[in-house]
Amino acid sequence: MHALLEYLRAEQPHINDALHRLLADLNPLVRPVAEHVLAAGGKRLRPLLLLLTARGLGRHDEDLYPLACALEYLHSATLLHDDILDGAALRRGRPAAHTLFGITPTVLAGDVLLALGNRLMADSGNARLTACISNSIMATATGEIHEIAQVGNVALTLPEYLEIITGKTAWLLQASCQCGAIAAGADPAQEAAAARYGLDLGIAFQLVDDALDYDTTREKAGKPVGADLLEGKVTMPLLYYLAEAPAEEKEALAGLMARLRQGDAPEQLAPLFAPFVQKVAACGGAQKTRDAAREYARTAAEALAAFPAGREKDMLLEAVAYVVARER
């Protein structure tokens, strides 16, 4: 994985420069909100995926950067809008934008970033790029709504869960890779392979995220666990537990979820939820979820068979390994 990290370290300054530069034309009332969410960091995974797929399929010029940035702007816009939903006070350890700028400027700055992402794609002259990201934004927003609608539902099915995480996370990673292929003028088979790679990588990514939230071995290191449960999110590790839990335990959890939905403060309910985090850990829910992630990682890697051999293909394979191995 060393080579991927080196590639990432070499690219991040270029991506960050472009991200900053392309915001220059924004109105001074909007730019600080956009700068704030971008400054909160992140790995720039989506821009990197666009660059890697486009280069892996033969395109290497500098004009890829605005397209790569478009993906990060779209992702940032969804973060701005999501944080409002969650009423989240923090984003990556910093105050969430809406707590600093107010709800409406945050909603509107998100709209500006969505539009900027679209315009950067449109400026390339290829309408298929815009169609691709538009579909992914529709799927991402729909996935978020789906997730909210299912908050606290302990009867959530596995297919429903997979549909939610595919929408809210995997579609934008799919678009990152598919746009890279479109930008490179790839043939239809390669474009489909890039899309498949991005989608399965995205599902694996979210599965690992959801597994980490129940990885109680991290508690010793002071890492928070059980946050999803306190938000009423029913994720795969919990589904493994629920599949074999005694009826009275399921009822007790459903009762807690109902109190959450009725507006009881999560902090107050935390001690009551804590035993369930331990039960999920005890039944191996986190580990089984990682196993599922490895299956998606495998099909993601298989899709890369359509790519020509080369440095970027190697990096894309390393990205798969990174996603399933990550511990934070």
| Exposed/middle/buried for residue 129 (C-beta within 10 Å: 0-12, 13-18, 19+) | buried
Q: Which of 16, 20, 26, 314 binds its own copies (CB under 8 A)?
A: 26
* 125 or 222: CB nearest its own copies: 125
Residue 237: closest CA among 185, 161, 140, 174? 161
Residue 88 has which token pair?
């989240």
Binding of its own copies by 115 (CB under 8 A): yes
| Binding region for its own copies (CB under 8 A) out of 13-21, 139-147, 263-271, 314-322 | 139-147
| 84 makes contact with its own copies (CB under 8 A) | yes
Does 107 bind its own copies (CB under 8 A)? Our answer is yes
Nearest-CA neighbor of 23 among 32, 13, 12?
Answer: 32
Closest Cα partner for 182 from 47, 71, 57?
57
Please tell me the count of residues contacting its own copies according to CB under 8 A: 48
CB atoms near residue 281 (< 10 Å):
20
Q: If DSSP states are collapsed to H, E and C, what string results for 66-133?
A: HHHHHHHHHHHHHHHHHHHHHCCCEECCEECHHHHHCHHHHHHHHHHHHHHHHHHHHHCCCHHHHHHH
Binder among 5, 138, 258, 325 for its own copies (CB under 8 A): 138
Among 47, 56, 105, 237, contact with its own copies (rule: CB under 8 A)? 105
- Position 29 contacts its own copies (CB under 8 A): yes
What 8-state DSSP symbol labels residue 168?
I
Nearest residue to 24 (alpha-carbon basis) of 11, 38, 10, 41: 38
108 binds its own copies (CB under 8 A): yes
**Binding piece for its own copies, criterion CB under 8 A, among 138-146, 249-257, 265-273, 305-313:** 138-146
118 near its own copies, judged by CB under 8 A: yes
Among residues 70, 177, 174, which one has the least CA distance to residue 124?
Answer: 70
Nearer to its own copies, 232 or 237 (CB): 232
Q: Does 39 bind its own copies (CB under 8 A)?
A: no
| Chain residues 160-179 in contact with its own copies, contact rule CB under 8 A | none
Question: CB of residue 203 vs its own copies: minimum separation in angstroms?
Answer: 18
- Say whether residue 141 binds its own copies (CB under 8 A): yes
Which residues make up the interface to its own copies (CB under 8 A)?
A: 26-27, 29-30, 77-78, 81, 84-85, 102-105, 107-112, 114-116, 118-119, 121-131, 133-135, 137-138, 140-142, 144-146, 148-149
